[in-house]
Structure 1
């Protein structure tokens, strides 16, 4: 079974399990699980409780990574990813290894070198990644941000989760259809914290990341990558 199938099945099973349990009145809402492009936005609110604690840990790790990697101007760090990718017109995902080096621009932005033979997610998640910037800034400043922001046409929702000891951040983007907002992009990543590794090179790295985007033909463009 492909990795993307395992991840999707896990999401479905966890969603079904949570639906069978009654929530207590004082229980914080769980991380929204979107398993269909026709599932409307849910769980809008402030980032509090366990989510806030995990969010602070993730944002701090992302910040530490940015500080560390931005000093690696010799671009000597080599990374190896196992990638699974499915295009909009494909029915099965392709699996391959992607070897890449880190690129650091003069203004400190980070990305992985592009490789036409083994496409992957080249952006490097940090505390100043556009969709995370404001949320991380508030969390690291001790504030309580909302998990959802946007306008009358599109919205972005940021959620954090501790899943069996793994720190997860989910970035979901929505577009308005009728009177409701529905997802068209979901980017989910497991971030290594300083409590997860002693190797400073990997603190704040997305050790696993799965990116899903709705295609115009109703199918799903999918790419996942696992850091080896």
Structure 2
């Protein structure tokens, strides 16, 4: 089920109608105060507005991330400045879409996030991914740098896994956006850039190399 936290009745009713027409059950809240309690185990994805009347959406995002580390959080906001987007992602959001938006893009991203949630179900045991000092247990969704476990947001984990799986080789931006975010990606890659910066802050600036216009390479050595 999707939890929609949006105070604008016109936007909320339209989103609920469109999502439910795609077979996606939705619960809607107009305020942020009850969002954390409402995001129980039955909620797979939260679509969150930032301009809520009681609590700023950034704070709601932080609380949701602390309570449900594995939860997919998708910010939908009219705030379009880079600092706003960075603040949302730093607060724990997996994705950020600026209003006004295309319904086709919204639905594509929602489906991608829900697929990621489904893929986190227990699977057969597999060998950990390794690159340099980084080890990733994909099934357990845990990662370590040397002997220190990394505190990663869900999309940071997915991104790191894609890079480490092909450590030493270039991974194109198109492939990353397809595998980590959306197979039908149509928007900018600012979200990706922000997540790369965050991973460098946790692993070291020389761990991930940028190849301008192409993609990124995880340095295995």
For this structure pair, what is the TM-score category when the shorter chain's length is used for normalisation? under 0.3
Please give the TM-score of this superposition, normalised by the length of structure 2. Answer: 0.26
Q: Greater strand percent: which structure? A: 1
Q: Greater helix percent: which structure? A: 2
Please give the TM-score of this superposition, normalised by the length of structure 1. Answer: 0.26
